[in-house]
Amino acid sequence: MAPLAMSDGQPRSRSFFRMNQSRREALAAYAFLAPNFLAFLVLVLGPTVFSFVVGFTTWNGLGMPKWSGLQNYVRLVKDPLFVKAVRNTAIYAIEFVPLAVICALGLALLFNYKTIGISFARLLFFLPFVTDMISISFVWMFIFHLRFGILNYFLSLVDLPPQAWLGDTKWAMFSIVILSVWRWMGYYALIILASLQGVPQELYEAAKIDGAGRWKSFIKITVPLISPALFFVVTTGIISSFQVFEQMYIMTSGGPQDSTISIAMFLYQQGFLFLRMGYASAVAWVLFFIIFIVTMINWNVRGRWVYEG
């Protein structure tokens, strides 16, 4: 009887461990996905959850965190410097996004003309985007320099007084906006250009036959058909403007009189200068929810101006 039992069990064991083609493919797929999944857990999800928990503690980054509940968030609401940082960031976004979109749209219309050297011109305007922001900030510091800046030199040619572009509360934020627009407009222009080149020329010919001029064709044909690209540019511009940090840190360090301190710079100061990691984590999550809410509002109103036909 014992040999019979062994003979009955062996086929069952082999059939249990036998793997068909679909199961082998699934296992191979899981094996390829495992490194990325582990990296996501360790490098993205793990730090995100840790940051969220730390936001409810008092921690200097060295010892053990102490649970403080909502104290960090209550403190943020009462912190005048944080309120000023939120206001400065909003002002930056309101100035940057429209200027960047308008300049990028104008560049895209110029790039759409087929002429000699147009590819080289596109490359020149795209180079600032791939150049390090810190290097760009140092260059623009010399441009805005009170005594030796080229901008004040041009003002002197027309008998205008020099301006302390980075040292005056009236001009500091706008000067940083100009730098940011100069850096981003080439990248945004190429995105809009790709959409422009997809507009059927037959529509312009039909509009011309109907007596429509260039401006009317631009408003009625071009803008609606490239509105998805404009929506992408506006959305990414809003997100990047709320995360602005490098140019303000290098050029003004948040001054003068905290007129250019942003939320990201405030977060950096609290976390890495004052070692208030719990407070900085709370700032990070407030910044996340601000970006999320603004993006959702923009997403929900897209149906009013974005053509999706």
pTM: 0.87
Mean pLDDT of the region 111-117: 87
Cα(117)–Cα(185) distance, rounded to whole angstroms? 19
Most confident of the following: 25-29, 50-54, 58-62, 304-308: 50-54
pLDDT category at 18 given cuts 50, 70, 90 is low
Tokens (6 digits) for 61: 């980054």
Beta-bridge partners for 58: 66
pLDDT digits (tens, 9 = 90+) for 117-133: 888 989 999 999 999 99
Superfamily of domain 71-304 in CATH is MetI-like (1.10.3720.10)
Q: Which residues of 20-33 are buried (b: 16+ CB within 10 A; e: fewer)?
A: eeeeeeeeeeeeee
Q: Where are the alpha helices (DSSP H) in 112-200?
A: 118-130, 133-143, 150-157, 172-196
pLDDT value of residue 7? 47
pLDDT digits (tens, 9 = 90+) for 268-302: 999 999 999 999 999 999 999 999 999 999 999 98
pLDDT value of residue 113? 87
Q: At a CB cut-off of 8 Å and minimum separation 6, what does 107 contact? A: 125, 185, 186, 189
Q: What's the angle, vertex CA 149, arms to CA 143 and CA 154, rounded to 5?
A: 100
Mean pLDDT of the region 181-200: 93
Mean pLDDT of the region 257-262: 94
Mean pLDDT of the region 70-99: 95
Cα(253)–Cα(260) distance, rounded to whole angstroms? 8
Mean pLDDT of the region 204-214: 86
Average pLDDT along the chain: 89
- Does the pLDDT of residue 6 top 60, yes or no? no
pLDDT value of residue 16? 42
pLDDT digits (tens, 9 = 90+) for 147-177: 889 999 999 999 899 999 999 999 999 999 9
Closest CA to 280 of 289, 292, 271, 288: 271
pLDDT category at 192 given cuts 50, 70, 90 is very high
Q: Spell out the domain ranges in the chain.
A: 71-304
Cα(286)–Cα(183) distance, rounded to whole angstroms? 27
- Does the pLDDT of residue 95 top 90, yes or no? yes
Higher pLDDT, 49 or 1: 49
- Does the pLDDT of residue 75 top 70, yes or no? yes
Higher pLDDT, 37 or 2: 37
